[in-house]
A and B are shown apart, each in its own frame.
Chain A
Amino acid sequence: MAQAAIELIGINKSFGAVRANRDINLEVARGTIHGIVGENGAGKSTLMSILYGFYQADSGEIHVGGKPVSINTSNDAIALGIGMVHQHFMLVDNFTVLENIILGAENDVLLKSSIAKARSELDRLEREYGLEVDPDAVIEELPVGLQQRVEILKALYRGAEILILDEPTGVLTPAEADHLFRILKQLKEQGKTIVLITHKLREIMAITDTVSVMRQGTMVATRVTKETTVGELAELMVGRRVLLRVEKGQSEAGAIKLSVKNLTVKDSRGVTMVDNVSFDVRGGEIVGIAGVAGNGQSELLEAISGIRHAVSGEVMLEGKPIDLTGKADPGELRDRGLAHVPEDRHHVGLVLAFEENENSILGYHDDERYLKGPFLDVDAIMADAKDKIEKYDIRPGNPRLKTANFSGGNQQKIVLAREMEQDPGVLIVGQPTRGVDVGAIEFIHKRLIAMRDQGKAVLVVSVELDEIRSLSDRILVMFAGRVVGERGPDATEGELGLLMAGVEHQEAAE
């Protein structure tokens, strides 16, 4: 084994009563890609934040390049050649690429020389690693894939030899993720050391040399990637065997519950996002919409749930039309049996500052069950929340806890419990398991299939192809705002991938 680039010995870190890291040992060899996997809340990000100087460990030692070091601030880490690509990019959105690159690494009180230096340096990095990006582009106008590239360039510009990437593919399209992996491999060949934090096992298998598994704040195992399997890693992560593919019976499709006809939606700039889309969803079936993020799925969902204006077309819910002016009353749609689990649970699905019990009835709070005269019936709400916590295994099981303090998976379960328990006829779910850990994914998938088996119509939009394939009875593929194909659940990944990339569509158009 090559010399260790990083060595962590006996790292402990607590936040109040929560022990985020206990007695962690980790060794990463120089010039390798090392993966760290674990469920959300397993302590991966905390550990890396300690390495990057964002937090200080309560005890333990850090060795970089064989020497013991103390890292108290991000500056110390940068000086030691450690760079980090954060999950939520640390970029200033209305700055140019150049400005972001030099921020904090200016060589002078005036910017002129720094900008000139950064420009030539970017040019070199572009040639060496194929990291192309327009230095004068404004960050907010770049796609996320390029924004991430700027983050990588920022670290390299500061002379990083060790690069930590925290959940780098969470925001990327499959094509962008592939490109990222090529870049990482190239960096590795140039002798850089890369630590990749993720909860996607497939990425670990595809790119890493070695992998460590974390569970509940401890390091449970380290493996050579070639000698392990996805199954073993998944089991190590959750501590038990998980189903990567949900078992489900044949669907028994009934009457049409949701019908979309010639729906067209434009965004605020007038660009057509959904282009003449038509489909039906029947009771007792799950229809999955696959596609690379940004091909109109989000807009489609929003239009169907009445919160985005549609230019033309109609949507029928149980045979009656939905107001498509974008001003539909969501309460009325709920009463008509349409439940919506939005893609963005933080901004649309939940009020993070509310207690769990409040979020678990949000939107249904004017339902008689939760009212006592004009007032909220707190006892009934609490009882209801406790009931949902039990049924959906929401942890920690404290309905008085602030929603922001739940992990991503549990927050998603709060939203799902709220929407599913209203016994809707039609359930629309956007990204059911985005940012959700393996154990919870399995649970959520099972609940969705249970809904289907009760005869509900379920529409699922997801950018995770595996998820679409494992859940759906019918798969619609969206590309550039259009539905470019419909396939059965047995469609191969390659076939769907081609559709998602618009290949077949373009050929047909020619």
Chain B
Amino acid sequence: MDMFNAIIQVLDSTIRLSVPLLLACLAGLYSERAGIFDIGLEGKMLVGAFAGASAAAVFHSALIGLGTAVLISVAFALVHGFASITHRGNQIVSGVAINFIAAGSTIILGQAWFQQGGRTPALQPAERFEAIIWPGAEAIKDVPIIGPIYAELISGHSILVYFAFAMVPFTWWVLFRTRFGLRMRAVGENPAAVDTAGISVAWLRYRALICTGILTGVAGAYLSMVQNGGFVKDMTAGKGYIALAALIFAKWKPVNAMFACLLFGFLDAAAIRLQGSPLPIIGKVPVQFMQALPYVLTVILLAGFIGKAIPPRAGGVPYVKER
């Protein structure tokens, strides 16, 4: 039973840890499907986290925090669009620039506003998104097997967790069942086909980037307002890049993206769980090794263990009408 409880706990933290990855990964899916590489997921998450925690602390409202996070993140996404769609700049350079601006500005503004060394004030319960306990969770908690699964895994998460997982089927539906999704996929494959069909390539790509901004904003808010009780500098810690890796691993498909992010989340959770405890056969493993595992896995997976991942064909190429 101990073993079972341990597994439930690891899976529970797998869900919590994979949420920011999943949101960022789906965010990247929107922009990359539309043909815009977005290496700036990391930066947009970071400004989202900072804006969310700051606004929540100042206005004492979790909702205002979330709204601000989304707003600022979308603004950054539009900057990326302005550089790479309107001015046909290099998308990688623009994304890297956004990451730098995010890393620097959050620390400077945080220090200027709150004087806590780049942190934002610790959030009160009302300023955060609290866990939602599902009906009956307490009651059946002690029922063997089903009880813990329901009470721990399904119930007891913040609204943003449910939002993240609901975004998976929703994104699939948008991509494959709506006009916007059809056009978005088309513009990522062959923008000239979209242009000659009488649809604005730029406006379509801007809209996709706005979707990206919304999701990275929510991802940031989750980090600073759910997982943590405030903003800490560089708190995204490379999650934006892992999300990009997961996106490639998932071959730009929403359901695959969920499983890829759960896998990365699981590795993270397992690493935390196994810290300090000896493993069978191998014995005690250094903490640093376990923490490095998700990143090692990223490298291994991307180095070719995933089969052929074909990115959207027009990805990274600014659209210019042919002469």
- Which residues on A are within 8 Å of B, measured CB to CB? 15, 52, 54, 73-75, 78, 84, 86, 88, 90-95, 99-100, 102-106, 108-112, 114
Contact = CB atoms under 8 A, between A and B. Distances in A.
A109 B313 contact: no
Residue with the greatest number of chain B CB neighbours at <10 A, chosen from A90, A93, A94, A103? A103
Given A88-B192, A102-B182, A103-B199, 9 more contacts: A74-B195, A91-B190, A92-B190, A93-B190, A95-B185, A99-B186, A106-B179, A111-B176, A111-B177
15 contacts: A52-B196, A73-B198, A74-B197, A75-B198, A91-B190, A92-B189, A93-B190, A93-B313, A95-B189, A99-B186, A103-B197, A104-B197, A109-B179, A110-B179, A111-B178
Given A109-B180, A111-B178, A95 B196 contact: no
Contacts of B194: 103-104
A111 B198 CA distance: 18
A79 to B, nearest CB: 8
Interface residues of B, number: 23
B321 interface: yes
B323 interface: yes
A104 B178 contact: no
A84 B197 contact: no
B123 to A, nearest CB: 38
Contacts of A110: 177-179
A53 to B, nearest CB: 8
Contacts of A106: 179, 182
Nearest to B180: A109
Nearest to A88: B192
Contacts of A74: 195-198
A186 B183 CA distance: 32
Nearest to A109: B179
Interface string B173-210: 00011111111011001101111111100000000000
A86 B178 contact: no
Contacts of A73: 198
Contacts of B182: 99, 102-103, 106, 111
Contacts of B190: 90-93
A93 B189 contact: yes
A111 B321 CA distance: 28
A95 B197 CA distance: 15
Given A93-B313, A103-B183, A84 B196 contact: yes
A407 to B, nearest CB: 12
A300 B79 CA distance: 51
A347 to B, nearest CB: 15
A112 B177 contact: yes
A17 to B, nearest CB: 13
B48 to A, nearest CB: 28
A78 B196 CA distance: 9
Contact of A54 (B181, B313, B321): B321
Contacts of A86: 196
Given A92-B189, A94-B189, A104 B199 contact: yes
Residue with the greatest number of chain A CB neighbours at <10 A, chosen from B178, B180, B182, B313? B182
Contacts of A99: 182, 186
A363 to B, nearest CB: 27
B178 to A, nearest CB: 6
Nearest to A84: B196
Contacts of A94: 189
B183 A104 contact: yes
Contacts of A84: 196
B300 to A, nearest CB: 26
A92 B313 CA distance: 10
Nearest to B323: A15
Interface string B99-124: 00000000000000000000000000
Contact of A104 (B176, B177, B198, B313): B198
